[in-house]
Every structure is written in C-alpha cells, then in structure tokens.
Amino acid sequence: MKKRVLLLTTLAFASIAACAQSDQTITAVFSGMKFQVPETPVIVGTLGQSNNMLLIKYSQSAGKRYISFSTEDSLDTGRCERADFFMAVIGTEPANHCDETAVTSFQNVFRNGSDSGVWNTDERDFYYFLSDDDRSFVFFSSNDGRLIKLESDFLDAKDFQAALGIVEPH
C-alpha cells in the first residue's frame, strides 16, 4: 500500500512539474494540420463551406487580439508558381515570369511596412509578412496543396513559429 501511495504521489508531482514547464498552448486544427496557439481564447469560431476560416479571439473588443487561419485558393500569383511569386514579392528574386502587377499589388497590401522573408523547413516554406503595429501574415501550403493564410494582430515572429511548429536551431 505504501508503495502504491508513493508511486501515485511521485506521478502526481511529475505531472505537475511537466505542466508547469510546458508552454501554455492549445492545439488548433485547420485544413488537416495541427497548430499550437496560446491558451484561453475568449471565442473560437469557424466558417466552413467556401469560406474555410478558423478564428480564435483573445479579446472581447471587435477586431482586437485574434488569430485566423483561412484558405486563399483565389490568390492571383500573376501566372507563376506560388514559390516564385512569393520570392518575387519578398524581393529575393526578380519577378521574371510573374505578372508584375500581381506582385506589386500583393506587396502594397502585405509587404509595405513589414518585415518579410521565408522560414524554410524540410516539409514546407512559410512566407511571412510581420508588422510591429498592425496585422501580420504567414502564407504556406497545406498538406493537400491548398494555400493557407495565418493572420494575427498580436503574435510576434517567435509566436508564429511556435504556432507553426518551427523550431529554430540553437
């Protein structure tokens, strides 16, 4: 009996210690993929059908402190591959065969006034457009090839990377 109590007490303390050391996140699932987002949202909602959007709010104020996931299947890439389009938007490669109007239009909406670049992983590339004082965006392809837009008005680069499961090398 004493061994059982000791074992249960040890397991209880180990569980509490593990919880205390873990990040305070919950798992959100969108488009068949899992993401780690901050815990204790105020509202979680989804629009299915053709809208395909998941909204997680952390404030009662309209339009404040949110994370949203949506599919962007109608994005005009200027008749070029997504990777080429985003690299042209970021400015690391010339637009070449991408329609310059599509690239410029996207830059005006998402890139101007933001830090932009790409986080490369073995599985996919994440094209980010991060702003200190406004909305920030990350675009990437889902497992089924759909273009996903992750948007937030309060996550910073590390928070986005944590949500996406990107671990930076030490």
Q: What is the pLDDT along the chain (170 residues), one digit of tens a residue?
A: 444 333 333 333 333 334 444 568 999 999 889 999 999 999 999 886 666 899 999 999 988 999 999 998 888 888 899 999 999 999 877 677 888 899 999 999 998 888 999 999 999 999 999 998 889 999 999 998 999 999 999 999 999 999 999 975 43
Contact residues for 78 (Cβ-Cβ < 8 A; gap 6+): 85, 95, 98, 99, 100, 101, 102, 103
The DSSP output letter for 52 is -
pLDDT at position 15, please?
36
165 DSSP assignment: T
Residue 114 near residue 136, CB atoms below 8 Å? yes
* Residues ≥6 apart with Cβ < 8 Å to 33: 142, 143, 148
CA angle 41/18/169 to nearest 5° reads: 80
- pTM (two decimals): 0.82
Q: What domains, with CATH codes, occur in the chain?
A: 24-164 (3.40.1000)
Give 149's strand partners. 70, 139
